[in-house]
Amino acid sequence: MSLRNDAKNKVYERQPRKCEVPVNEQGRYLKVSQYYGENVYNYHLSKSLSQEDKENLNQVINGKKTIDKPLAAKVANSVLEWAISKGATHFCHWFQPLTGATAEKHDAFLSFDNDRPIEALSASQLMQGEPDASSFPHGGSRATFEARGYTTWDLTSPIFIRESSNGKTLVIPTAFISYKGDALDTKTPLLRSDIKVGEQLIKFCHLAGETNVQRVYTTCGAEQEYFLIDKAFYFSRQDLVMTGRALMGSLTSRNQQLEDHYFGLIEDRVLAYMQEVEIELYKMGIPAKTRHNEVAPGQFELAPIFKDANTAADNNQMVMTVLRTVALKHDFVCLLHEKPFAGVNGSGKHLNWSMATDTGLNLLEPTQNPHENYRFLAVIATVVEAVFRHADVIRMGIASHGNDHRLGANEAPPSIMSVFLGDTLKKIMDAMIQSGAYTPETQRTLDIGAKQLANIFKDNTDRNRTSPFAFTGNKFEFRACGSSASIAYPLSILNAAIADVFAETNAFLEKELASGKTIDQALIAVTHKWYKNAHQIVFNGDGYSQDWVVEAEKRGLGNYRTSPEAIGVFKKTEKVKFLVEGGVFRQGELQTRANVMVERYIKCREIEFRTQESMVNKQILPCAISYKAQLSETVSKLKAAGADSSVEEGMLKRLSEVVKNLVTKKDALAAGYDKFHHSLNEDDFSVKIAKELMPICEDISKLCNQVEEIVPEDTWPLPKYYDMLFIR
């Protein structure tokens, strides 16, 4: 039996896994609110910490002071007591190296008092770890033999317990830095960026009259798209295992064109999976809010409630981990690649971003009369200027080999950065820099024509799903981030861009106020200054259209179609200097990230090329050659019998041409890779891969698809798109 048929038979026998919903001692189901966050350490509830300890710890978390060792020792004992009471036996420093994933090394609580075994967690173990950093990406920032790195406790992100089938582990969120103090992770720059945004926005709020504001921070809610396929199909395809995407596969006659999967009925097996994912997330204090079928068959989405950006980034990393691990329990594999199946929609990660104060203000809340909310308009204008000024660097922040398959593919925002404001807000802003007068429309309800239905109040604007950075009511939605990416990196760049321009906004406000202008007059002047300068990046139309590509070029907006082009922005010192001058990255850290991104791009493409070559040699060609032999024998027999063989000869000729072209292309790709690999530096090599080798790789995929469409169904060795996307 072939791998494909064996896999299909296994899938046909699958049944939904029963999800164990938490119950109380009487066996009654618990409400989510009753077990939400039960695996999150809450120092406020600790009985071993005094009220003074808790107040001091709160000041540390809010950046008012640093933690000392005596307080850390008390917290460590409190954490240990709580973790042991929950059944944890190990702890780990959980960090986010430049792999884009997470890393952890588990240590047992087991220690010894003389010869007596005890459980222990010291202040030093809580605050600092020393993982071997030699095998993590470092972009040439140190010699191979220089292996020391440090993890350091991030007090702003909650400590939690991660449950597995046979045990529990205490997870301590940490930053990861080099021996010289440089950031080797995505968390450290994000924390720096949030500090810089906070500093500038506190000053802005005070200048704008909100003098009671003491803290401003960025918030985020990261929507997560993903695919589910049965693990029997997954492990029958070398490309999915090695690269995360299908390197070949003929489209089914029906995939997403009827839009029937989007928001459709969630199948029992998938729903059972979603429910178990949510239970795990709720226990760890991760507020999963929505779940639904996405556009493509086999594609789904999970979206959380907003949190501060740093915690949201940590939460999203754990969301991806839980999606993967729980999937295996349900005999699924969760695919987070941005484009696992060519021809159907890929997966993104929409970052819903805003700025909040400790007094409860959302600085992107327009209120009922946005045209009179001058603080809000000044914030919007400053954000628009920040995106306009630093668009190329923001585009670089979402560059990856996987995302190259999405951006600009009529399913995701284009690779051109632009801002969508919506009709009403754009009219207000345009009026301010033209006539200064804006007449608001009265709020209207939609006439549905059915009195049985509740009235719907019409929003000020429709949504634009083609914009990479869209204002959506009281937040911006950064829609261009890839589904497998860490959100910390693009968030740190976005925050740095915002802080950079707000520093100038504050200086301008101070000057205007010193000249005798009122706060409102000064805010209007800020809005006029920035929006007039940056309005060309505002685009409310169809971002998928070729007309926009032409128009964007006329406006002078960058269009980096591939990751190597986008990463090349690192070489333009003037473009990235705000990251260094703002204190979010050090110069060496930028070079490290540039090197790591290029190196990762090359390695991932090499794995794809080698995997594709192996599959062609070992699966596709043998299948095609076998069918050629069968056709040749049939033609010979028909001719010997004096029967017409024109149909069979036509099929044989077509298959022979496809096979010949396939071998030619396969050899050309291998030769081109070897040639460029040995003759070019990494930067130039990555560009050659994107511009010259990827088109050959795609040609090979198309030729393999032609073979799939010619050979008999029962001889094709790989699970097809139909199998993977529709059979569950």
Residues 690 and 670: beta-carbon distance below 8 Å: no
pLDDT at 448: 45
Integer Cα distance of 489 and 591 in angstroms: 14
Q: How far apart are CA 173 and CA 310, in angstroms?
A: 11
State the pLDDT at residue 544.
84
Backbone angles phi, psi at 532, to 5 degrees: -60, -35
pLDDT digits (tens, 9 = 90+) for 157-178: 999 999 988 899 999 999 999 8
Q: Which two tokens stand for residue 712?
A: 């008999």
Same domain? 608 vs 627? yes
Report helix, strand or coil for 1: coil
CB 44 within 8 A of CB 75: no
Amino acid at site 383: V
User: Structure tokens of 328?
Assistant: 């295996």
Let me know whether 299 and 164 are in one domain: no
**52 and 25 within one domain:** no
Question: Does residue 337 sit within a domain?
Answer: yes
246 shares its domain with 162: no
Does residue 140 sit in the same domain as residue 178? Answer: yes
Q: Is 707 inside any structural domain?
A: yes
Contact 83, 161 (CB under 8 A): yes
Cα dist. 218→106, 253, 363, 726 in Å? 32, 45, 10, 40
Average pLDDT of every residue of the chain: 90
Strand 216-222 relative to strand 351-357, pairing: antiparallel
Hey, how many other C-beta atoms are within 10 angstroms of the C-beta on 657? 12
| CATH number, position 60 | 3.10.20.70
Task: Give yes or no: residues 66 and 127 share one domain.
Answer: yes
C-alpha span between 366 and 355 (Å, rounded): 13
Q: Do the domain assignments include residue 634? A: yes
Are 230 and 274 within one domain? yes
Output the pLDDT for position 169.
Answer: 96
Burial of 173 from C-beta contacts in 10 A (0-12 / 13-18 / 19+): buried
C-alpha 123/C-alpha 105 separation (Å) is 18
d(CA 119, CA 505): 54
d(CA 128, CA 43): 19
Q: Residue 113 has what pLDDT?
A: 87
CA proximity to 320, closest of 223, 407, 220, 411: 223
CB 43 within 8 A of CB 159: no
| Nearest alpha-carbon partner for 614 in 242, 338, 337, 232 | 242
Report the pLDDT value the prediction gives residue 460, as an integer from 0 to 100. Answer: 52
268 plus 233 within the same structural domain: yes
Residue length of the chain: 728
The verdict on residue 360 lying in a domain is: no
| Residue ranges in 333-390 assigned as alpha helix (H) | 374-389
Residues 46, 17 share a domain: no
For the whole prediction, is pTM greater than 0.95? no
Cα 638 from chain centre: 58
Q: Tell me if 486 is assigned to some domain.
A: no
Whether 399 is in a domain gets the answer no
Burial degree of 536 (CB within 10 A; 0-12, 13-18, 19+): middle
Q: Which of 158, 161, 173 is nearest to 82 (CA)?
A: 161
In the predicted model, residues of the chain with pLDDT beneath 50 are 446, 448, 451, 453-454, 456-458, 462
Q: What pLDDT is attached to residue 443? A: 56
Examine the fold and report which residue of 132, 154, 185 is the final residue of a domain before the chain moves on.
185
Question: Across-strand partners of 530?
Answer: none
Predicted pLDDT at 140: 62
CA atoms within 13 A on the CB side of 489: 29
Q: State residue 457's pLDDT score.
A: 46
Residue pair 148/130 in contact (Cβ under 8 Å)? The answer is: yes
User: What is the pLDDT at residue 141?
Assistant: 57
User: Inter-axis angle of helices 69-85 and 51-61, to 10 degrees?
Assistant: 100
d(CA 223, CA 303): 4
- Residue 277 domain boundaries: 1-35+224-250+264-347
In a domain, 387, yes or no: no
Domain termination residue (choose one: 306, 325, 347): 347
Residue 145 forms part of a structural domain? yes
155 and 236 in a single domain? The answer is no
Place of tokens 């080099």: 178
Domain termination residue (choose one: 163, 185, 207): 185
Domain holding 670: CATH number?
A: 1.20.120.1560
43 and 181 in a single domain? The answer is yes
Q: How many structural domains compose the chain? A: 3
- Please name the residue ranges forming H helices in 397-539: 423-433, 488-514, 519-534
Same domain, 79 and 16: no
